[in-house]
Structure 1
Amino acid sequence: MPDVRQPVLRFLAGPGALARIRDGGLAPSQVAGLAGAAGGPKWLALNHLDRALFGHWLPDTRTTPRFLIGSSIATWRFACAAQDDPEAAFQRFEDAYMAQRYSTRPDNREISDEARRILDTILGTAGTGEILANTALQLNVMAVRGLGLTASRNRHALTAGLAGAALANLMARRTLGSFFERVLFHHPAGRPPLGGLQPFPLQETALSPGNLRSALLASGSIPTVMEPEIDIPGAQPGVYQDGGLLDYQMDLPYATGDDVVLFPHYEARVVPGWFDKLVPWRRPQRSHMDNVLVVAPAEEWIAGLPGGKVPNRKDFYRYAGDDATRIKHWQAASEATRALADDFMETVASGAIRHRVEPLAVGR
């Protein structure tokens, strides 16, 4: 009988990638790097797609290094991918992440301690060394260093600084450079192929055994919710927080020639910065997205998940006092991602991606 399964993925490409994929499909050797978005539990909507990409599709298909770049939870996914046994690392991540439990009113310390537990489980005893030694998949971590009030450890001052940043961002994204310094913690082999990272002030710091864990924690440190990382070794003194504040979904100037930046994503829209979630008309720059291919779940697939949505941070409140139900629903969502992995592998291998790829919504 013919295969009548409905596609569960969308393939959305910037102008350059769109033309090349429609002409010749997509081979793993064409993928120069991968980008990843912040989003907390939303990563569970990519779990088995990640495992298929890093465990089966990408390995040993390119003679030059690939870069991995993301903020917050994406950097933890990529920290799994860059270890010697990515499947085992992803399984540790899933198990530890599902097992999160909190008191009725957790404070910043309790939430941060839980994040440290999860990250330590991901890295194990050998993960840091394996990630730094991996030159085929080079991890890069985006974070921010607070400026002015956003560098304060006083909750009220920090909240005021974040409110000011949100208001300024409504006028122009570039105004966030008065509130945050963009920080690129790059692989020790060198920075990823990015053009100018204007308009924000920029610090570039090499990852090392002494700062990789702190950089990963900083990248996911949600202001007012978690404790920041202070004075990260090798970096400038200061208060380091969630990279998603500036780089929520990786609207970056990729310089990859004709090669593709693959972006496994939990939604079809690319939101430049965290504050842009409140600015629905803001889109990523056209030139930044030229060679980007976003692979995202179809809305119909999402509608079939528990609650008809991708897991998110609100689940901690929605299922407060009922961790068993939260874990059950998260496990169901994670298991459902096997269909995403199958759809990706079949669509690329058959060449059907040439007909399924569609334009990605971009700005000017």
Structure 2
Amino acid sequence: MLRVLAGPRAFSHIKAHGLNAADVQSVVCASGAAKTLTTIGLDKVILGQWLKNIDHVVDLLGTSAGAFKLAAACRKDTLEWLDRFADIYCTQTYAERINEPDIRDTISWAPQELIETLIADGGDKEILSHPNFRLHIGTVRSFNQLASENVKRQKQAIARAALLSLQSSHSLRGMAERVVFSDTRSTKALRPIDEYPTHNVALDKKNLGPALNASGAIPVMMHGVEIETEDGIHLYRDGGMLDYHPIPSQLWPSNEGIILYPHFYDYLKWRWFDKFYPWRKVSASKLDNVVIFAPSNDYVKSLPYRRIPSRSDFKRFIKDEPKRIDVWQTAVQRSEELGEAFLELVQSGRIADEMVLLK
């Protein structure tokens, strides 16, 4: 039901000592829109139960829907807010707004509503003052054509970058810079080792909502988000463009503890365009202390339509929204089994026998 894949150092540690909450330094959640619903039950157990009574700091890093989910986990009642996140995400519908003149208005509305709910009524204060969790939100600062709100220019920029991505992982150079909005209480030192300019911005009540919004603002489909920082006002977009499945060692090279990665796949894709190339998977050398928990192939085949939820379901079920909602909610309900499987593995110590070494 649940696959466990570990980088070399994490593999050796767990073989010798098992996996304990005290070992965990970070939790990372990836972009993936509706795919993130696949692991809600697992997220709840890890973040809302297993790590609930820790006496040390755990840094949470996410982009797009992964960042939304981790922000929900930073509310006081983690279990309740992860349930609310899943419910709002599943039941979002564009049926009543589909006739708006700009499709970006329609699509941008749903995540804005979700984020506003997350931070309303003191939610922003809870997220920024969680006793143990420190939130980090990955975004992209846009330049040149990618910074234009003209859809035609954005499409040209994306098309050019897509072509360049065939040869290089730096196809967005000159159009995108990484900006990570981080809890000021974190001691993590952001030292990215790729070739993209990177900025670390203090996360506060003023920019929390905009940063979350920007982290999931897909180019062409959604409006960019203007955020003012110390070096001026810039237009921000989907953090998944540079960190589709964030790779901790590329941002925090000095990581020492175990990094948990509850994920919908048993592999990682670093850049946004990498998802189109089956051979581009992150190597074990970049995942030394990472442990990926992912649903098994058999588990996925047991879900409705034998697959995990996808943003494309909006089109697939365009004439039957209740059916899409039911499919997504079923995936969320079933994900509780993944959480139970996780607890059984770590509590019994069987994780040492069940995990696979990443290669």
**Could you state the TM-score of these two structures normalised by the residue count of structure 2?**
0.94
Distance 1:286 1:337 in 2: 26
How far apart are residue 203 of structure 1 and its match? 1.6
Match of 1:192 in 2: 188
Residues 234 and 335 (structure 1), Cα distance of their counterparts in 2 relative to 1, 3 Å cut: farther
Distance 1:223 1:37 in 2: 18
Distance 1:236 1:67 in 2: 27
% identical aligned pairs = 32
SS in 2 for 1:355: helix
Residues 187 and 46 (structure 1), Cα distance of their counterparts in 2 relative to 1, 3 Å cut: same
Can you give the 5+ residue segments of structure 1 that lack an aligned partner in the other structure?
Answer: 1-7
Q: 2:260·2:290 contact (CA, 8 Å) conserved in 1? A: yes
* Deviation digits for residues 251-290 of structure 1 (CA, Å, limit 9, x no counterpart): 2324455410000000111000110012222232544310
Where do 1:73-112 residues align within 5 Å? Answer: 73-103=65-95, 104=98, 107-112=103-108
Residues 315 and 105 (structure 1), Cα distance of their counterparts in 2 relative to 1, 3 Å cut: farther
* Deviation digits for residues 285-304 of structure 1 (CA, Å, limit 9, x no counterpart): 54431000000000100001
Which one of the candidate residues 144, 153, 156 is aligned to 1:157? 153
SS in 2 for 1:237: strand
Distance 1:353 1:69 in 2: 24
Match of 2:305 in 1: 307
After superposing the two structures, state which structure 1 stretch, 233-242 or 306-315, moved more. 233-242
* Deviation digits for residues 159-188 of structure 1 (CA, Å, limit 9, x no counterpart): 110111112222111343222101111112
How far apart are residue 133 of structure 1 and its match? 1.3
Can you give the 5+ residue segments of structure 2 that lack an aligned partner in the other structure?
Answer: none
Distance 2:327 2:201 in 1: 39
Distance 2:187 2:92 in 1: 34
Residues 299 and 164 (structure 1), Cα distance of their counterparts in 2 relative to 1, 3 Å cut: same
Residues 11 and 263 (structure 1), Cα distance of their counterparts in 2 relative to 1, 3 Å cut: same
Aligned-partner residue type, residue 283 of structure 1: K
Q: 1:66·1:136 contact (CA, 8 Å) conserved in 2? A: yes
Match of 1:22 in 2: 15
Match of 2:326 in 1: 328
How far apart are residue 88 of structure 1 and its match? 1.9
After superposing the two structures, state which structure 1 stretch, 9-18 or 192-201, moved more. 192-201
Q: 1:34·1:68 contact (CA, 8 Å) conserved in 2? A: yes
Which one of the candidate residues 33, 38, 59 is aligned to 2:31? 38
Aligned-partner residue type, residue 273 of structure 1: R
SS in 1 for 2:135: strand
In angstroms, what is the RMSD of aligned CA positions?
1.6
Q: Is 1:246–2:238 an aligned residue pair?
A: no
Residues 235 and 143 (structure 1), Cα distance of their counterparts in 2 relative to 1, 3 Å cut: farther
Q: How many residues were matched structurally?
A: 353
Residues 236 and 135 (structure 1), Cα distance of their counterparts in 2 relative to 1, 3 Å cut: farther
* Deviation digits for residues 103-160 of structure 1 (CA, Å, limit 9, x no counterpart): 3566101111222111112223111111111241000000001122111111010011
